[in-house]
Structures are given as structure tokens and as C-alpha cells.
Structure 1
Amino acid sequence: MPELRGQVALVTGASSGIGRSLAEGLAARGVAVAGLARNEERLKAAMAEVAESTGARTLAVAADVTDGAAVDAAVARVADELGRVDLLVNNAGIIDVAEVPIWEADPDQWWDVVAGHVRGAQLLVRAVVPGMLARGHGRVVNLASGMSTKANRDYSAYSVAKTGLMRLTEALALSFQGSGLFAFDVAPGVVDTPMTRSMDMWRDFTGWTEPARVVEVVCAIAAGELDAWSGRFLHAGKDDLETLRSRTPADDVRQLRLKPYGDGDPLG
């Protein structure tokens, strides 16, 4: 694994689950980690545990990622105390509370899911990226999902949100060209977390993706080893890192596109 000492990362949803694993994995490689989450008490406890187990510097900044003013204040505090953000990981988000068709879903909760992933990521990008651009260096990782590329009738809000996040990533990558900044979609696979355990579709599932695999991909991104994949979809549960490092993707590989119906398709 690459040595990342000297970098600063901001990880949202860092108090538990994949975000907590990423915070600890990055810290173990020398990264100063700012964790962001809504529950301040749980977040402070998690960041203190990461600091104790790794010896790295950590910072707990409580905020709701859908609250613009709270996000701005949190990022300003990270800049004041840690100096900058080299790596932004947009991991925070929630899931549909029930496996029901769209018309049966509670509309407020449905939109809360979409807002948490898409509005949250956009607000963090808005607060963090200008500083990255000023320094000519930075990377953004958006946590994607298998549902980013294939709809799920029972988790419609989550699949809409994760697909929207992929488009956000591609737009970022296009805007970043020539700037020294890069953006990535990383689907973690099916990691054993409280959120995943709450989903009926995974009730009897046993083939969990180890959190360490997600950490490995994000650390490789932080080290600049996967910059050729900026704007594209990576899957920690399925991709082989050495294969990714050895390839330079072309055209629209690993991006959302329509499939033509045949040679005569005018949209082909």
C-alpha cells in the first residue's frame, strides 16, 4: 500500500460503516483525517479511536451534508486546523426505509435519500474544490454503488441518487481537465455495515466485501496511481488494482451511456 503521509483527507459519513473504515485506513497510512457526520458524540468517539489506533491526527466536524451553511463552516474549520484538503471522500448517505414501489414510498423520505447523496456531494464539492484548484492538486471520490448502473425497483431513491452521483463525478472530471484535480466513482461492493444489514435484499447474504478492499482502492487513488480513471466507475469488490494500474481506459469505458439498438441507431 502507498505511503500517504502529509496528505489531508475529509471523509463524510465517517462515524460508522465504510466511512469509519476509510478514515482509519487512510490514517494508518499517514493521512490527517477530518471526519464529518451528523451525530457529534458518535463522530468524536470514532475519530478519537482512529487517532489512538493509528497515531495520526484526526478532527471531528459535525454537520449535516445537506445544510449548506453547516458544510461551509465545517470545511472552513478543517482548513483552519489542518491547512487544506487533498482528498475529499463523499460517503455520507441514507437508504430507502422500505422496499416498496416508487408510488408507495414516502415522498419526503425518498427525497431525503436523493438529497443526502447528491446535494450533499455537491455542497462538499462547492466548499472544498476551490481550495484544491488554487493549489492545483486534489482528488474527489464519490461512493457509488452497483445500483448506480442498474435500477432497483425496491430501492428507487437510492439508485436514482447513486446514478446522479455518477453524472456529478463525470461532470467534475470534465471540469478538472488540465487542473491537476481528478474525480472518481468507487462502488464498495456489499460491505457488512449497519445500513446494508437493514436492507431486506441482503438478509441472507454471506459474500461480503472486506472493507480493506475499499480502503486499498481509495488509497491508490490518493497516491495518484489511478488518475487515468478519473470520471469513471471503479468497483472495490470486483476490480483488481494491478489491472487498473496497468490500463489506460479510452472513450466511454466505465461511464454511463446508452446502448444503440443496432448499426442504424441514430444515437449509436
Structure 2
Amino acid sequence: MSGILEGRTALVVGGAGGIGHAIAAAFRKEGARVTIADRAEVLDAAEATTAIDVTDPASILQAVNNAERLHGDIDILVNAAGVSSERYWDDLDLDEWNRVLSINLTGTFLVCKEVVPRMVRRQHGRVINIASQLAIKGAPGLAHYCASKAGVIALTKSLALEVSPLGVLVNAIAPGPINTPMTDRMSETWKSQKAAELPLGRFGNPEEVAPTAVLLASDPGGNLYVGQTLGPNSGDIMP
């Protein structure tokens, strides 16, 4: 039996681990041809992969071209590359601010700049940007991360307004705390306090976020989502 993404081609940037990897696996299960793009040192040679540095336009161009050589025109783009660090205001310097924004926000912008015009030319495409519920509520020690993800949400809305009439639907997913290598690097105090705040009382798992991406990528399931931010977040945010 064919899946709901049968015949579609997807590029998952930041797909070697965490939420991105779960999305790639879910897309494959639904029949999509998937290319994972990530840092060279974390790629699995057994998968269809290409190296990428999301801060470097030349690297992005090469990765997108590699993905198209592997599987053809890109129907679905997922921007899941991201970094974070726990830095309170007194310790947050410009270098760390720029590092986080350059990957989380500018990286999303640069990948979209390369891929979205190709989708517009074909008048078809889905873009799914991974944001965070912290973009909406903020968090102590994470001003740089929250600002970057708030920018992702604003970018998603603005881009969606421009390209949805041209057949390209752009949306975001803002997960709550998820058990990934990124959250593993946070302090145990932060993680325990955060879990206690959640109505579900626990962090989510990447496999619980991936179905939201499948929905947004699918037809007809994702057809009416334009500039939306969906929140699999254990009840942390209730818009």
C-alpha cells in the first residue's frame, strides 16, 4: 500500500539527528524520496545524504544540487538545522548571539532563498520550518535561541504571504521540549523544572513531532495551512 507522500521528493536540512531525523524517517515511511543534509561529520553514509553548512550560500547551493541529482526536483523542504546554548544575560556575548542566529534564523533564510524559487518556478512546494514554543513564551538563559526561533516564525508568515499564491505553502512547527541531543546539553535543573511545568508532565520524543510534518507535507491534509505555526508541545503553549 502506498503512503500519502508517494512520489514526492523531500530535502530535510538538519536531518541527521533529533527531530529532523524522525521527520526524514516518517517521510520515507509514507513513500517520499528523502535526502538528508547536515554537517559532514554527523552524516550516515548508509542514507541518501549530502553535506551542508547552512551559514554558507555556496555549500547550500551544492547540497541542493546534490539532492536534486539524487532524487529530482524538491517538493518538500524541511529546515530543521538548529543549535542552542544556555547563556544568561550577563554571559551572553555577541559571538554566541551571532552563532545561534546565523544557524537557526539566517540559515533558514539562506536555504529558503535557494530552494523556494525553484518551487515557485514549478508552482508547487511545501516548506516546513522548525521553530520552538520558546519563540512565543521566551525563557531565561535562552534569549538568543528564543529570538532566533521567533524570527523563524515571522519569516515563515511573511514568506507564506508572498509565495502561497504561487503554489508554495510555507508553515512552521514549534515543538515543546523534546528529548534530543540539543536538550541533553541543557542542565539537569533546567530539564527537571521544565518537565514539571508541562501539563503532560514530560518532554516529547522526536517521533511524536514527525507526524505534524507529514500532515503539512501531505495532500489534501496540508492544503489549507498557510503561514501557520503548529505546536506539538505537551501543553506548554495553548494559543
Which TM-score applies when normalising by structure 1? 0.79
Report what 2:142 is aligned to.
Answer: 155
1:238 CA displacement: 5.1
- Are 1:100 and 2:88 matched, yes or no? yes
AA aligned opposite 1:188: P
What is the rounded CA distance, in whole Å, between the counterparts of 2:116 and 2:125 in structure 1?
8
1:12 CA displacement: 1.2
- Secondary structure of 2:212's counterpart equals helix
AA aligned opposite 2:43: L
1:9 CA displacement: 0.8
AA aligned opposite 1:27: R
Alignment map for 1:185-204 (pairs within 5 Å): 185-200=172-187, 201-203=190-192
- Are 1:34 and 2:35 matched, yes or no? yes
What is the rounded CA distance, in whole Å, between the counterparts of 2:41 and 2:28 in structure 1?
20
Query: Is the contact between residue 164 and residue 170 of structure 2 (CA under 8 Å) also seen in structure 1?
Result: no
What is the rounded CA distance, in whole Å, between the counterparts of 2:91 and 2:234 in structure 1?
33
What is the rounded CA distance, in whole Å, between the counterparts of 1:109 and 1:33 in structure 2?
32
Which of the pair has more CA radius of gyration?
A: 1
- Higher alpha-carbon deviation: 202-211 or 170-179: 202-211
Report what 1:68 is aligned to.
Answer: 57
Deviations 1:203-230 (A, max 9, x none): 4636021322211111111113133231
Report what 1:86 is aligned to.
Answer: 75
Query: Is the contact between residue 197 and residue 203 of structure 1 (CA under 8 Å) also seen in structure 2?
Result: no
Query: Is the contact between residue 19 and residue 207 of structure 2 (CA under 8 Å) also seen in structure 1?
Result: no
Report what 2:11 is aligned to.
Answer: 10
Report what 1:264 is aligned to.
Answer: none
What is the rounded CA distance, in whole Å, between the counterparts of 2:3 and 2:232 in structure 1?
17
Aligned residue pairs total 226
Report what 1:228 is aligned to.
Answer: 224
What is the rounded CA distance, in whole Å, between the counterparts of 1:86 and 1:121 in structure 2?
17
1:16 CA displacement: 1.1
Structure with the larger RCO, 1 or 2 (CA within 8 Å, 6+ apart): 2
Deviations 1:146-181 (A, max 9, x none): 111122231011000000011100111110132111
Report what 1:263 is aligned to.
Answer: none
Deviations 1:17-73 (A, max 9, x none): 1111111111111111111111x243124xx2xxxxxxxxx5211111111110011
Runs of 4+ in 1 over 3 A off after TM superposition: 203-206
Query: Is the contact between residue 3 and residue 29 of structure 2 (CA under 8 Å) also seen in structure 1?
Result: no
Question: RMSD of aligned C-alpha atoms?
Answer: 1.9
- Secondary structure of 2:77's counterpart equals strand
Query: Is the contact between residue 125 and residue 167 of structure 2 (CA under 8 Å) also seen in structure 1?
Result: yes
What is the rounded CA distance, in whole Å, between the counterparts of 2:3 and 2:223 in structure 1?
15
- Higher alpha-carbon deviation: 117-126 or 218-227: 218-227
What is the rounded CA distance, in whole Å, between the counterparts of 2:119 and 2:23 in structure 1?
21
Report what 2:214 is aligned to.
Answer: 219
1:189 CA displacement: 2.2
Query: Is the contact between residue 2 and residue 219 of structure 1 (CA under 8 Å) also seen in structure 2?
Result: no
- Are 1:210 and 2:205 matched, yes or no? yes
Alignment map for 1:153-192 (pairs within 5 Å): 153-192=140-179
What is the rounded CA distance, in whole Å, between the counterparts of 1:87 and 1:63 in structure 2?
17
Indicate the percent of aligned positions where both proteins have the same amino acid: 32
Residue segments in structure 2 that go unaligned for 5+ positions in a row: 196-200
Which TM-score applies when normalising by structure 2? 0.88
Residue segments in structure 1 that go unaligned for 5+ positions in a row: 49-57, 240-253, 255-268
- Are 1:111 and 2:98 matched, yes or no? yes
